[in-house]
Amino acid sequence: MGDRAPVHITIGGALPRGHLATFAAHAADYDLRTDWDSEPFDPAALAVGKPLELYGTELNGGQIPQIDAFCCEHGLPFRRWSGGCLGAFLPEIVLFEGSGAMRDYTASEDEYVLFPPSWIKSFTRLRDLKRALARAELTIPPLVLLGGNLP
């Protein structure tokens, strides 16, 4: 069964319309919704000009690996917060810029990145700390559907 935790993911970038059904199937697998207590995700109701925000509750480890993998495969930037489970794992924030590796950070239950004092003290210059803090933030662009259906 595993320990259960909530998740909130914000996704942006350009996705060919033909891949939307696959994405929606992954979202349905995790019972992701457009707000904490709303209806399940409906791809027909995508907001124009905004990133897609999805929420899930009671997910194993607070993880949605099929969604993460889909976004990475299709170059979709995302910011995912996963809640923690007391005695099992801490909350985390995972960032993906659309290419490269995902970056993960320890987080609070209210979706803020947390840096331990030992990590902060390791910086010798304030500007280096500020750069690291800025790197832990990511502005997610709107999710845009491209073209028609794929063959």
> Using one digit for the tens of pLDDT, what is the confidence trace for 58-84?
999 899 999 999 999 999 999 999 999
Q: Which candidate, 103, 101, 90, 108, places its Cα nearest to that of 136?
A: 103
Neighbours of 66 (CB within 10 A): 15
CA distance 43 to 20: 7
Strands 143-146 and 13-16: parallel
- Answer positive or negative: Cα dihedral of 103, 91, 8, 109: negative
pLDDT digits (tens, 9 = 90+) for 78-87: 999 999 988 8
| pLDDT higher than 90, residue 147 | no
Q: Is the pTM of this model over 0.85?
A: yes
pLDDT for residue 23: 98
pLDDT digits (tens, 9 = 90+) for 85-114: 888 899 999 999 999 999 999 999 999 999
Q: Output the DSSP codes for 4-70.
A: EEEEEEEE-EEEEGGGHHHHHHHHHHTT-BSSTTSPBP-GGGPPTTS-EEEEEEEEETT--HHHHHH
pLDDT for residue 149: 53
Give the DSSP H or E segment for 81: strand 78-82
Structure tokens at 50: 């905004």
| pLDDT higher than 50, residue 150 | no
Greatest distance between any 2 Cα atoms in the chain: 55
